[in-house]
Structure 1
Amino acid sequence: MSTTTETKPEPAMPRAARTTSTSALPTAPCSVVWSKGHAYVLEGFRARWVGVDDRGRPQAFTGADLQRRGWTYTRSA
């Protein structure tokens, strides 16, 4: 019996999908995007993006606010 496990590497996301500051934001509740080093989660019932600032204080943005700030699906942007 072998104790090793084979896993398939995840397919690389196309560059256009990683830097989507000009694309439409996701619309599924609980979607996560990154902006300026912070994660933001879409609240479905209010259609706003919530996260925290550098000091841990809650922040909320509209989709238009995040479009202006710039956003990506990955933290390293």
Structure 2
Amino acid sequence: MLSTETATETDPLPTAPCSVVWSQGRPYVLEPGAGTLRWVGTDHLGRPLSLTGDELRRRGWTHRRAG
């Protein structure tokens, strides 16, 4: 899926490390760590933010930055 539309909660997130998705106008990178994969990015104040796949699905995500 390569569009600027938000994926649905049932659309699969990428699983390859270093994959990038966008959520709420911010990029998130899939990083391995301590036996689990986490989506890492920043919040609206620029502070580090780590999300699970389920958290990212609830927030909404895309493969491309929305216009």
What interval of TM-score do these two structures reach, taking the shorter chain for normalisation? 0.7 to 0.9
RMSD, aligned α-carbons? 1.4
**Unaligned residue ranges in structure 1 (runs of 5+):** 1-16
**Unaligned residue ranges in structure 2 (runs of 5+):** none
Paired residue secondary structure (1:26): coil
Structure 1 residue ranges, 4+ long, deviating more than 2 angstroms after superposition: 18-22
Higher relative CO (Cα under 8 Å, sequence separation at least 6) belongs to: 2
Match of 2:24 in 1: 36
Report the Cα distance in structure 2 between the residues aligned to 1:70 and 1:21, rounded to whole angstroms. Answer: 7
Q: Give the TM-score, by structure 1 length.
A: 0.72
- Please give the per-residue CA displacement for 1:10-33, whole angstroms capped at 9, x wherever unaligned: xxxxxxx12323301000000000
- How far is the alpha carbon of 1:44 from its aligned partner? 2.3
